[in-house]
Amino acid sequence: MDGELPNTKPTSSPLTNENGWRKSTIRIKLPAEKISQREADAPELDITGVYHRSLCEVITTAFQDEAAKAFHYTPFSVFWQPTPNSTPERIHSEIYNSDAFIEEHKKVMELPFPEGEQYEHAVAALMLGSDSTHLAQFGTAALWPVYAFFGNQSKYSRAKPSNFAAHHVAYLPTVRLFCSVPYNSLIYV
């Protein structure tokens, strides 16, 4: 077995340009309690090592996936009428039967089609979410992945982990502001 180890290739990160990932630095404004200042004048902190993908690429990939065959592209309203004499009640159960989706669908359908356009127009109901994840069993290494889900997909299908409905959009590093930056020196000048 030891003789086989030198022949193994080192693993590379999946977060590469070839896989559609970019590495960037973002700037955030630092809050300052009990100090009256314009937001434009607030000190900034550079966050390095932010990995992200193009949202257009994520949308295109998701809509070409097999699961997109079950997506809802045309919204509709759902009503419930318990008895023939009762007033129908509107039921809100999915994003694609919400008022917001219906209104956006109307706006998109009113857009002019460019000359020679061969594809239908549709609303992509993006839902973004994030949570912390630990990178090691021991220690404090953590990361904040940002996921995109599509409201065009039924919540019953979207909620099943086996359907792989979460699309990775970004990875945000954990910022330990008080340990890594002299915060007071930036704010209380």
Distance of CA 104 to the CA centre of its chain: 19
pTM above 0.85, yes or no: no
Tokens of 153: 């997909």
* pLDDT (tens digit per residue) in 99-111: 999 999 999 999 9
Q: How far is CA 63 from CA 51, 122, 125, in A?
A: 22, 11, 12
Please give the average per-residue pLDDT across 68-79, as a whole number: 95
Q: How far is CA 14 from CA 48, 75, 88, 96, in A?
A: 18, 36, 51, 33
* pLDDT (tens digit per residue) in 167-183: 999 998 887 655 445 55
- Cα–Cα dist 160/155, whole Å: 9
